[in-house]
Amino acid sequence: MKFAHLSDIHLGAFSDRSLRDLSFDAFSYSVEKCIENDVDFVLISGDFFHNPVPDMSISRDAAEKLKEFKDRGIKVFTIYGSHDYSPLSASMIDIFEKAGLISKVQRLDGKKLLPLVDKDLNISLYGIDARKNGLDQETWRSIEEIEKPPNGTIPIILMHLAIRELLPYDLFMIEALNISDLPKGMKYYALGHIHFPGYYELDGSPVVQPGALFGSDLSDLENTAKGVKRGFYIVDTDNMKPEFIEVNIAPIILMKINLDNKHASSAYDEVMRNLGKIEKESVVLLHLEGNLSGGKQSDLQIHRIKRYIIENGARTVIHNQSQLKFPESQKAKFTGSIEEIERKILEEKISSSKIKALSVDSSLELLNILSIQKEDGERDSDYKERLSKLAMKILGVDESD
Ligand SMILES: [Mn+2]
């Protein structure tokens, strides 16, 4: 018997359309590979979706893929990840479960963890759901007893949390369990949460972390560009040996351009000078860094640079200039708290404005609207409407106009 172990698929992550599509393609390709390899069941160790209530189109496409498993009698088991768990509303995972496309594994009786026993597959699945950030280990720490699996079944546990021994070097400071904290006696430990692949053994049983299937943010993509492998595992239950199936859906290229002591307007030329051959359909991560000698944001001509890279074959360009510093002279004109600085800048701009402007207070109110967060489960359209209603009110515009 064979099973697949995937994790951190994060469907619906990324605002960039191409990246969101690629993350779905990675899942779609993995489903194909699972079917091709004749797996009997599939484990997903959390973060199937990036949000508990994802976009309708992503949910539809995901349902279509899960249906391909169902039509072939391949059962899919999951736990909540920190991203697809919602304390307030139902999660899309719950809807898929009700529709019979996926089964949630966690069974708790007070402080006792029970297995989900599947007689057809002869497996006992234990699962620990994640909660929101920081609470990932809370459920696990509260468990006092684990019910024994029925004789002859294979015990497997799914967990969405960090294990110290499987952390990459640069995450060493995050809160994590030790391998010795894991319950003994399982034949396979299906981990999720950390976006790097990792492998360990506990009393001869594999402790496996597939990592992110594609990634959920730019630092994941940067790690892919630097050589971190993306994919999932297929395990033969005869020998419990996990085999990594690489999922390389598009080339991801990191382009770092150092602009130390250069004027902002030289960015375009520097990119041209450093631009190697752009692989077709690649994702280019353009990182501008360094201390500029002069110039301002608009001198960088980001749009022109992006257009050039796209015209030369890239699928998309994601630009990051968090490590780029403009000259000191442009900074620190005002000092104080953020609120005080905002007020001073507005006072200056409004007093020098030749057109009729809003008052400083109204401008600040308007600015504050932009910091209102979307509520958990709120639809994009409802959120936009809520914000624009508030803005209209401040502007004194009658909505029926
Ligand atoms: Mn994740």
How many angstroms separate the alpha carbon of residue 318 from the centre of ligand 1? 21
Query: pLDDT per residue over 167-216, tens digit each?
Result: 988 888 888 889 999 999 999 999 999 999 999 999 999 999 999 999 99
Rounded distance from Cα 282 to ligand 1 centre (Å) = 23
Which positions are annotated as active-site residues? Answer: 83
> Could you tell me which residue, 371 or 67, shows the higher pLDDT?
67
| The predicted structure's pLDDT at residue 347 | 86
- From the CA of 127, how far away is ligand 1's center (Å)? 16
Of 70, 63, 49, residue with least CA distance to 192: 49
The pLDDT of 84-97, averaged and rounded, is 86
Angle, vertex CA 160, rays to CA 206 and CA 163, nearest 5: 55
Using CB atoms within 10 A of its CB, is residue 124 exposed (0-12), middle (13-18) or buried (19+)?
A: buried
Distance 241 CA to ligand 1 centre (A): 24
Per-residue tokens: 220: 């994941």
- Span 227-235, mean pLDDT? 97
> Does residue 123 register a pLDDT over 80?
yes
Cα–Cα distance, 162 to 175 (Å, whole number): 7
pLDDT for residue 399: 61
Q: Is pLDDT at 275 greater than 90 in this prediction?
A: no
The pLDDT, as a whole number, for residue 336 is: 81
- Report the alpha-carbon distance of residue 177 to residue 45 in Å, rounded: 16
128 Cα–ligand 1 center, Å: 15
Q: Yes or no: say if 121 and 150 are a contact pair by the CB < 8 Å rule.
A: no
The pLDDT, as a whole number, for residue 59 is 96
Distance 109 CA to ligand 1 centre (A): 27
Query: What is the rounded distance in angstroms from the CA atom of residue 115 to the CA atom of residue 166?
Result: 25
pTM here is 0.81
Q: Cα of 160 to ligand 1 centre, how many Å? A: 9
pLDDT at residue 263 greater than cutoff 80: yes
Tell me, what's the pLDDT at 143? 87
What tokens does 336 get? 């104080």
71: part of which helix (H) or strand (E)? helix 56-71
Of residues 344 and 151, more confidence is placed in 151
**Whether the predicted pLDDT of 333 surpasses 80:** no
40 Cα–ligand 1 center, Å: 25
Average pLDDT over residues 229-250: 97
**How far is residue 47's CA from residue 93's CA, in Å, rounded to a whole number?**
10
In contact, 209 and 166? CB cutoff 8 Å:
yes
Query: What residue spans of 260-356 are helical by DSSP H?
Result: 267-274, 302-311, 338-352
CA of 192 to the centre of ligand 1 (A): 7
| pLDDT score, position 24 | 98
Rounded average pLDDT over 13-37 = 97
* Rounded percentage of the chain residues whose pLDDT exceeds 90: 68
- Report the chain's mean pLDDT, rounded to a whole number: 91
Kindly report which listed range (26-35, 104-113, 152-161, 331-340) carries the lowest average pLDDT score.
331-340
Stretch 99-127: mean pLDDT: 96
- Among the listed residues 3, 49, 56, the one whose alpha carbon sits nearest the alpha carbon of residue 24: 49
Number of C-alpha atoms within 13 angstroms, CB side, residue 73? Answer: 4
Give me ligand 1 centre to Cα 351, in Å: 48
Task: Summarize pLDDT for 289-330 with one digit per residue, the tens.
Answer: 999 999 999 999 999 999 999 999 999 999 999 999 998 755
**135-168 confidence digits (pLDDT tens):** 566 778 888 999 999 999 999 999 999 999 999 8
The answer to whether the CB of 94 falls within 8 A of the CB of 57 is no
* Contacts within 8 Å (CB) and 24+ apart, 166-169: 166/191, 166/194, 166/196, 166/198, 166/199, 166/200, 166/207, 166/209, 167/194, 167/196, 167/198, 168/194, 168/196, 168/198
